[in-house]
Structure 1
Amino acid sequence: MVRTPLTPEERERGERLGRLLREARGGRSMTEVAANAGISAETLRKIETGRAPTPAFFTVAALAAALGLSMDELVGRCAPAVEAAA
């Protein structure tokens, strides 16, 4: 299966998501948060560093729950300012 290349906007959104998750994780270890979300620490590392800019919805939902974030908050904070203002 061939994946279409990501747009610059999709890559930027993935980087924003990664920064938000890293900030929300705070002093907790990647291993702890990943285990609570039911994913591997490597998957969390890839998301936080932007190497996995389009994680599956259920992965994001599990991370949000593990970090005490709402999906609405994630969407609002990951959307570019132009989209958020629309």
Structure 2
Amino acid sequence: MVRLPLTPAEVERGRCLGAVLRRARGTRTILDTALDAGVSPETLRKIESGRVATPAFPTIAALADVLGLSLDAIWAEVNRSSRGAAPGRRDEPERSAS
């Protein structure tokens, strides 16, 4: 499977997501947080740094649970923080050529 390159907006949302998770982690270590969520510390490090801009939903759900965050709160914060990002959304419905 070939992955399409991320749009600038997706990259910015990834950076925002990482910042939200990092703030929520507070003084907890990456190791403790990752192990509690069932993900590798390297995965959490990459998400927090924005290097993994589109992590899998179960990963974010597990991290949210461990950090005491709601998925709605994460989504609202990421969207609020990335409003000024470049256009180019890929989540718009495709239109068929009829």
Greater relative contact order (Cα 8 A, min sep 6): structure 1 or 2?
A: 2
TM-score, structure 2 length as denominator?
0.81
Q: Hey, what does 2:66 align to over in structure 1?
A: 66
CA RMSD of aligned residues (A): 1.0
Query: Which is higher, the Rg of structure 1 or of structure 2?
Result: 2
Structure 2 unmatched ranges of 5 or more: 85-98
Q: d(CA) in 2 for partners of 1:25 and 1:65?
A: 12
Q: Matched residue pairs, number?
A: 82
Q: d(CA) in 1 for partners of 2:71 and 2:54?
A: 15
Q: Which has the higher helix share?
A: 1
Structure 1 unmatched ranges of 5 or more: none
Percent of residue pairs bearing the same amino acid type: 56
TM-score, structure 1 length as denominator?
0.92
Secondary structure, aligned partner of 2:51: coil
Q: CA deviation at 1:31?
A: 0.3
